[in-house]
Chain A
Amino acid sequence: MNTLQQLPILSIIAYIPLAGALIIMFLIPKEKTGAIKAFATAVAALDLAVSLPLWFSFDRAKAGYQFVERIPWIPSLGVDYHFGIDGITLLLILLTTFIGVIAIYSSFSAIAERQKEYYILLLLLQTFMIGTFCCLDFFLFYVFWEIMLVPMYFLIGVWGGQRRLYAAIKFFLYTLAGSVLMLLGIIALYFYNTTGFLGYKGLGHAATFSVPKLTAVAAAMPPELQVWLFFAFFFGFAIKVPMFPFHTWLPDAHTEAPTAGSVILAAVLLKMGTYGFVRFSLPMFPEAVKTPWVIGTMVFLAIVGIVYGAMVTLVQKDMKKLIAYSSVSHLGFVMLGIFALNMAGVQGGVLQMINHGISTGALFLLVGVVYERRHTRMIAEYGGLARQMPIYATYFLIMALSSMGLPLLNGFIGEFSILQGAFAKNFWWALFACTGIVLGAAYLLWLYQRVFFGELSNPANAKLPDLSFREQLTLAPLVVLALWIGLYPKPFFDVLRVPSENIVRSVGGATMTPPAYAGAPGTGIPAAGDLAPAAPVPAVR
């Protein structure tokens, strides 16, 4: 552990893919596609191998950031090169390195042209994603956050489907628009800490972009300024999540991106938004978050996202679009959990981020499998595949069940925890969100039925080969992970516990789950007359 603490392990994890990308760029000629593939996979696997020790040597009981690296970078502006992780980012980094291997390994047969550039971009993307999760300096964070768009833009725009240019540009501009507002927020914060701006008197501190420091500064700001800044950050994050009504870039980007792009987009990139809420919005602007109309708006948007996303999913004719819209619904659950502002909600929300990465990532992989064989994503083109591809059907069923939250698989753990947190806060939130569970079963089973059941009527499907060994190798780890989280989620909750407690405490929530209504004798909790709008119980706050 000590040796690991002394090494700049986070930088190593972050820059291994970059180094791999440079080596491919300069040392491997583009004709040697086999070597490029093998090398890219090896780099990603090495990255995963290097990141795994973090899981074992991470101190679960320690508050604050671990494996911290800090070097002054631009001293005159107070910019540091500052890396560090807590339990939340630990899981997200592991998810990123894990998905990174799978995304690269799954692209072997899907990508036929410009392979060199493709793998270089995938590796670059991985460096930027890990950097975004690791860094604890707003300046650096913004750099990573923005530069991440570039490889993704090219992945969609070059290797995408028919409307790839439209989708890529929409993706780029939409997210850029959001993050510009975030940049404004960061700058405002910076000046609030130093010289002041727009009539707000600055604190006159030394200039810094340090996340922990500015978080403390922001948390002490006057409430109305917090609300302004909360919404500045909100647009950046909400578009990335994406929350209703900022979600329309997602179906286009997902649908047009190549399989690996969709997988990374779903598994990691969307998590940037929810991660932003957990890491920045909640601890930085507690007064804003606690304002009833703000939290009401957030939860309203989350619940609308859940139900609306599910309803729209129900009528999709394109498999990838269907799964993309289901992401809107799932991330609505994540947002609901986060804004329940209690332990169960936040822990469940973060865990559901991981779960969504696993389940939806796997579903995109699975759609990619038949897309590679048939070059169509239209549901109507399929039917009766269960007979022809039983192993494929089995994998698909497992991941669909995981996505719809069936117990003993990962999705259930996250959804249960989120809904429990929401219920503890307000009965009606849980009631409306639960409809998402019913609709989730409906759209996934209907999809499954249309693709796998019925007669195998389309002759084009009559000779589809079942999953190859390599394809199974990309999917099996995801299934194992889904079962692990479903059967024994305790290790994950252990990792998340301390950071979640900090977050919940910072917004003044109770770290326990407060009973929504309890007239239990001897507890001193006032009996709520009925279940109606059960406000958070004051005694517990």
Chain B
Amino acid sequence: MTITINHFLILSFLLFAIGFFGVLVRRNFLTVLMSIELMLNAVNINFIAFSRRLSDLTGQVFSVFVITIAAGEAAIGLALTISLFRQRKTLNVEEANTMKG
């Protein structure tokens, strides 16, 4: 069978959904971060698929941007994680609720 764009979109959707689910339900900060990475990569697949389909390189360029930013996001996220752990001795996101109004 030929792989059409629909396959990519489905894969992308599944990955995104898994990531989003992870973000919502997991309590561990690290897992949440990994889930976010998952979502970003889902978006990347989407970009590249459409880029291929429309023969427009912009999408691929965007995906490179996203990868770069994802790296930065991971670094900052990990730094925050460490900082949080030092302060609270836990990685539970439930504890990080001082912003509560």
A contacts B: CB pair < 8 Å: no
Binding site for A on B (CB under 8 A): none
Binding site for B on A (CB under 8 A): none
